Chains A and B, each alone.
Chain A
């Protein structure tokens, strides 16, 4: 295995080209760094970038291509490879802050990559991957799009989490204040644990799965089609629970110690849906059309 490193000072002309290619805006004086690695099947890649975006997409098999834009000399990119493991770390030097320590990454990886990304406040975006994904951040916006087969674990303090079209893997998200939006997410296990962030699910609860959404004060809203096949338990200790669906059987007297609850099934109850909040509002909505 080998890797090649190219570092050069960006000129004004190159700036325009790179801007167009990478879609990343950066100022004159920024430094671009390109890294190439050869890898085997299911490589494991870790990217640790306190400030700045990390965008990871599926590229060619057996090859990892990293483009890093460094915003100042207060930060360096450290990289290491051991067999199938690669680590990319934005190394903050003395005096680096949220602006001068920022690095923007565009990364192409084999689709079966097991990916780990840490970021404080940059956007983290993973797309079209089917390995395991583990993303954590403080205020970073987390997006995972069109992924399947692997497990997706996301931890965030206050950054929004947006998961779109995920299937066949375990999805586990923990958020303090960040809203968690799930669109077309299905699988054997979808577990969302939020504090004050809202949980918004739009999908059909497919996959004979287990969907556990819990919040402290955040509202939980799930929008499902009329044909959804689910066994539902929904309860808010101090908030309100509403459902557009007619669930069977009805247990109006259930779980209503001071709050609100509903229990029941729709269709063949293939998936178990648990919506639990301490004081957030819960609404199981019927998808129109």
Chain B
């Protein structure tokens, strides 16, 4: 986010919007919401896999942000600040619902020590070129909640493992291993979807 960032048809910069929002200006709140709504909503949707929950959480994240906006200093960190808050809102909601934030350390279904899993599709066929954003999106939504959290935070949102460890309350090693399992699971789902699609042809 740069200081020159313009919002609403060059009417208001983000910096100006923040300052005006601190004074209770409704238009400024809307400007800030419009600038960041897609990122926040997408995060909430990916983490929960449910549009109704994502809408509620988006609202909650912005509400918390706007409640605290008077304490905000310095525009450069605004985006970071907002997204951290959004992640915390989602994680808190998941905790409230009793959903696992970090998956239990159990073996992936059907996997046994030292054996290769049976995978759908030709083993030498790579995913690249055969899946697009929508395929990936659907597969992420099918991930178990715990895997989804780690995957979204790391691969989608770009958080580092040490940050994820702090955010979700696990060790760095756990974050790394669960991310790996999440990617493996996603690969399985994507290959399965591709195989199903090919079978229908």
Contact = CB atoms under 8 A, between A and B. Distances in A.
Q: Assess A/B contact in the complex (Cβ within 8 A).
A: yes
Interface of A: 170, 172, 188-189, 191, 210, 231, 249, 251, 253-255, 263, 265, 268-269, 272
B71 interface: yes
Minimum-distance CB pairs A-B, first 3: A189-B67, A251-B169, A269-B96
Interface in B110-140: none
What's the dominant secondary structure at chain B's contact region? helix
B95 A265 contact: yes
A189 B70 CA distance: 12
B171 interface: yes
A188 B67 contact: yes
Contact of B67 (A210, A251, A254, A265): A210
Interface of B: 64, 67-68, 70-71, 88, 92, 95-96, 166, 169, 171
B169 A189 contact: no
B67 A253 contact: no
Given A255-B166, A269-B92, A170 B67 contact: yes
Given A189-B68, A272-B88, 13 more contacts: A172-B70, A189-B67, A191-B68, A210-B64, A210-B67, A231-B92, A231-B95, A231-B96, A251-B169, A253-B171, A265-B95, A269-B95, A269-B96
A170 B64 CA distance: 12
Contacts of B171: 253
A113 B70 CA distance: 21
A191 B71 CA distance: 9
Nearest to B93: A269
Contacts of B92: 231, 269, 272
A254 B96 contact: no
A188 B95 CA distance: 20
Contacts of B68: 189, 191, 210
Contact of B169 (A191, A210, A249, A269): A249
Contacts of B95: 231, 265, 269
Nearest to A253: B171
B60 to A, nearest CB: 9
Among B64, B67, B171, chain A packs the most CB atoms within 10 A around the CB of: B67
B67 A268 contact: no
A215 B172 CA distance: 28
Nearest to A272: B92
17 contacts: A170-B67, A188-B67, A191-B68, A191-B71, A210-B67, A210-B68, A231-B92, A251-B169, A254-B169, A255-B166, A263-B169, A265-B95, A265-B96, A269-B92, A269-B95, A272-B88, A272-B92
Nearest to B166: A255
Contacts of A263: 169
A57 to B, nearest CB: 26
A188 B68 CA distance: 10
A160 to B, nearest CB: 22
B169 A268 contact: no
Contacts of A272: 88, 92
Contacts of B169: 249, 251, 254, 263
Contact of A172 (B71, B88, B96, B166): B71
Contacts of A251: 169
A170 to B, nearest CB: 6
B25 to A, nearest CB: 15
Contacts of B64: 210
Contacts of A172: 70-71
A263 B168 CA distance: 10
B98 to A, nearest CB: 10
A5 B171 CA distance: 69
